[in-house]
Amino acid sequence: MHDEFEMSMMGELNFFLGLQIKQMEDRIFFNQSKYVKEMLKKFRLEDSKPTKTPMSMEIKLTKDDEADSVDSSKYR
């Protein structure tokens, strides 16, 4: 990749494409709270009441080693 693009190490990744990223030793967390706050402000909805996430917070996502590989070029 270095042959085709100019790259440099700029420290730990914190924001990328509107996502806030928190890297830990054994996991990575993504959230969009900054983006959501900006949208609420833009549309003057800062006083809106939050609602619960309609997904179980107890589910742990795991890697499926037996699944077929995905052609990542289809999703670019």
Q: What is the pLDDT along the chain (76 residues), one digit of tens a residue?
A: 667 888 788 888 888 888 899 988 888 889 998 888 999 999 999 999 988 878 887 888 888 888 888 887 876 6
Cα angle: 69, vertex 28, 74; to 5 degrees: 30
Q: Where are the domains of the chain?
A: 1-46
Which residue is it, tokens 């309609």? 54
pLDDT of amino acid 1: 63
The reported pTM is 0.47
So what's the pLDDT on residue 2? 66
The per-residue pLDDT for 45 is 94
Q: Which of 1, 2, 31, 26 is nearest to 14 (CA)?
A: 31
Check residue 6 and give its pLDDT. 83
